[in-house]
Amino acid sequence: MTPLGGALLGMAVVAVDFRVDGFDLLLDPVGWAVLAVSVGRLADLDGWFTAAASVSWVGALVALPVVTTAEAGASAWVGDLTLLLQSMALFSMCTGMIRHLPADHPGRRWLDPVRWVDLAATVIVYGGGLVGGAAEAGLALPALVAIVVVFVAFVVITWTLREEPPLAGTGLAAPA
């Protein structure tokens, strides 16, 4: 499996909840670890992939309380933080991919707005939530919808780029 293919698998495990009697069968820490290891395979290519891997390891640690406790409070703050960490990983991965695609590559033209729209929507959801303005202004729901649409676009674009050299993980320089 290519690094980007593995990263998408990890993100899917984190993003999708499949619950039986309150237990998520798709353990988020496992998804975060798959994402971290997969993106980490591209770390020698660009520091943005290192950033995405680091954020993913933080996500794995943050998601542990939900696995080890059934407290609703733990689940709520972890869910909020997970969305923020996913946005950080998405932005880092998009930036890393953009830096290693030719200037005229169609994937590059799509990844740039994807990362910025996701960042803006995340700031609206979290920044507005902190000051109480996003919900009152009616921006929270449209921002959440934008995050979902952007995430789907990211998945489609990344899937099409998963075998593009050097993003396929081929031809990377060996660590010194």
Per-residue pLDDT tens digits for 68-83? 655 555 566 777 788 8
Domain assignment of residue 37, yes or no: yes
The predicted-structure confidence for 91-102, as pLDDT tens digits, reads as follows 999 999 999 999
Rounded to the nearest 5 degrees, what angle is found at the Cα of 61, between the Cα atoms of 58 and 64? 150
The mean predicted confidence, pLDDT, of the chain is 84
Residue 22's alpha-carbon distances to 59, 66, 69, 122, in angstroms, are: 21, 11, 11, 27
Specify the number of domains making up the chain: 1
Residue with the two structure tokens 């640690």: 61
Domain assignment of residue 166, yes or no: no
Domain assignment of residue 23, yes or no: yes
Distance of CA 34 to the CA centre of its chain: 12
Contact 169, 2 (CB under 8 A): yes
Domain assignment of residue 174, yes or no: no
pLDDT at 32 over 80: yes
Domain assignment of residue 169, yes or no: no
Determine the structural domain holding residue 71 and report its residue range. Answer: 3-161
Residues above pLDDT 70, as percent of the chain: 79
Give the β-pairing of 19-20 and 23-24. Answer: antiparallel
Domain assignment of residue 60, yes or no: yes
Residue 69's alpha-carbon distances to 20, 145, 150, in angstroms, are: 15, 29, 31
Mean pLDDT of 94-121: 94
Q: SS3 of 102, please?
A: coil
Residue with the two structure tokens 């081929």: 170
Domain assignment of residue 172, yes or no: no
pLDDT at 25 over 70: no
Which ranges of the chain does DSSP label H, i.e. alpha helix? 3-15, 28-40, 47-68, 72-99, 106-131, 133-136, 140-161
pLDDT at 34 over 70: yes
Domain assignment of residue 8, yes or no: yes
pLDDT at 49 over 60: yes
